[in-house]
Chain A
Amino acid sequence: MLSLRRRTVNAVMLSLTGVCTVLAVGTLLFILGYLFLHGGTSLTLDFFTKLPKPVGEPGGGMANALLGSAKLLLLASCIGVPIGFLGGVYLAEFGGSSFSFVVRYTTDLLNGVPSIVIGIFAYTLIVLPQGHFSTLAGGLALGVMMIPIAIRSSEDFLRAVPVSLREGAMALGASKAKTILTVVIPAAKAGLLTGIMLNLARVAGETAPLIFTAFGNRYWSPGWEQPTAALPVMIYTYAISPYPDWKQQAWSAGFVLLMLVLAINVFARMVLSKRGHAAR
């Protein structure tokens, strides 16, 4: 029979982990609840359909910011996800030791650069030569921010796939590329998606890199070469203003942003589980 000491340790430590979870989940539920109370309850349809109005005039919305954020995130994903994912594949599947070490190290370094510095970087690289602010510059800044997280998390999850699966495929005569494509990646699917979602979620809420790149716009922004409004920047601008009406809109926008990311998450997992068997 197990000693009392071991049983006690077991019970205590396991309940502590429960406590940790309660704390983490509790914090989140609190934040969600707060956002809902302050932002969700006063949400109207206007928010999604109208352009911003000057302070004091009722009925303004953030329709242009919603579209702007969507465009920025689309561009950022097109840059960040492929480069990051394929870089992760390299590290997990082909990497030697010293070069991979350098790549991983550099990835962590890039990850630690403050978002505003990335914004300044994109500003000097794109905005200044072009002579104007643009959605392109904003998307690029966000894309650069996505790359390190994508590489790191892709590599982690690909590595977590057991060697036996790879060996099995090889033994059946598949080439390395085929193994990766048809065995390793599908096996790591859930984790890879987690990584992409976390990444997108984080980048969706970034304000600082957009201030000097996408700039902001009170009107619609056609195409990719003009400044565009974005949800986080609107939140920031409205939240620090003196007007209760605008502050209210800032909380609403925060709530909407969160709900949008939730929706993307749910959607992606639905698509994933319908296709795959290892639904998690």
Chain B
Amino acid sequence: MAASSTTNFSARPSGRASTFWQRLRSGDDIAYVITLTCALTILAITALLVFELYKNSAVPRHQFGWSFLVTTTWDPVAGQFGALPFIYGTVVTSALALLMAIPLGVGAAIFLAELAPLRISNALTFLIELLAAVPSVIFGLLGIFVLVPALVSIEPAIRSVLGWTPLFSGPFYGVSIFSAGVVLTVMIIPFIISISREVILAVPAEQRDGALALGATKWETTWNVVIPFAKKGIMGSIFLALARSLGETMAVTMVIGNEPKINQSLFAPGYSIAAVIANEFAEATGDLYLGALIELGLVLFGLTIIINGLARVLVLTTTKKGAI
């Protein structure tokens, strides 16, 4: 029987042309329903999660209201809770990590996809994907024992170049927002590299050939033709990386210094939402304390909504078709 859809890939199969059984046999409707259900599952799970977070944070929400978002005190003994230092830490460490990981990641992906011979590229990518498997607690331990001493030793160098900015001022004890940013960079880079590489490899050869035929250099081809073609996939990988960095718990808490204070220097210790929840949840007792930690989870959720929204606006203004 004639297939019911033609080239409009986004439309539902039309009901006019075939009988119910024909459509069922051709499988289009089943495929549609099954895949739709799975997509809906995500919405259901997220809604349930938000509902649970909302419900279990009722006590502190009634007590503090919106001031929870701007208070800087975190005092479990006195029952005073505020989210601002954690919001600051989360945002700054993730921003720092993305700032370092995106150029490094996309750069490496370009090298692996365009320049390296295929077998070497496969082998190296395979190894890089292994980085994603290192448990975060190991990253944390490596952070304390390897990264922090290393940063302490190169700190004078950084300070001599960038010390005039308030970003790199003040004493440095090794554990700091900067260290957390570096650890996060290492943790999110595998996602950017491996996904970007795959997407770049999938760009049809004709696109490259066309540009080269017009006299472009390899770099010009890559930067002006291949990358824009692969942009959506690369953006997708960046969103994955961003998400991971916002929610990363164990590794961050071991190197960030765990001080709930806002400091303009990256060399100062800080605290992130995921870290404080991990640190204090197991020991927290009492509805207010537990509820405050859960409310922090809710705040992080809200933060993620805002950051993702901003990122999407950014993408929409730089690409033509926004299927993000």
Contact = CB atoms under 8 A, between A and B. Distances in A.
Interface of A: 2, 6-7, 9-10, 13-14, 16-21, 23-25, 27-29, 31-32, 34-35, 82-87, 89-91, 93-97, 100-118, 120-121, 124-125, 144, 147-149, 151-153, 155-157, 159-163, 166-167, 170, 173-178, 180, 190-191, 194-195, 197-198, 201-202, 204-208, 211, 231-232, 235-236, 239, 250, 254, 257-258, 261-262, 265, 269, 280
A176 B28 CA distance: 6
Interface residues of B, number: 112
Interface string B127-138: 111111111111
Nearest to A113: B247
Contacts of B10: 94-97
A170 B6 contact: yes
B199 to A, nearest CB: 6
Contact of B41 (A20, A83, A94, A194): A83
Given A24-B108, A116-B274, 17 more contacts: A10-B219, A24-B128, A28-B127, A31-B131, A90-B32, A95-B10, A108-B243, A110-B42, A117-B53, A148-B243, A157-B198, A173-B3, A176-B26, A177-B30, A207-B137, A208-B278, A261-B130
Interface in B243-262: 243-244, 246-250
**Would you call the interface of chain A mostly helix, strand, loop, or mixed?**
helix
B35 A86 contact: yes
A17 B133 contact: no
Given A29-B127, A103-B43, A236-B250, A114 B133 contact: no
B249 A114 contact: yes
Given A13-B219, A108-B239, A201-B130, A159 B3 contact: no
Contact of A114 (B104, B115, B118, B247): B247
A91 B134 contact: no
Contact of B36 (A90, A101, A102): A90
Interface stretch (B69-77, B151-159, B172-180, B230-238): B230-238
A190 B198 CA distance: 8
CB-based closest 5 A-B pairs: A205-B135, A20-B107, A177-B27, A90-B35, A201-B133
B313 interface: no
Nearest to B32: A94
Contacts of B304: 108-109, 112-113
Given A34-B146, A95-B10, A236-B250, A86 B300 contact: no
B189 A156 contact: no
Nearest to B200: A160
Contacts of B242: 108, 112
Contacts of B13: 176
A235 B128 contact: no
Contacts of A114: 246-249, 273-274, 277-278, 297, 300
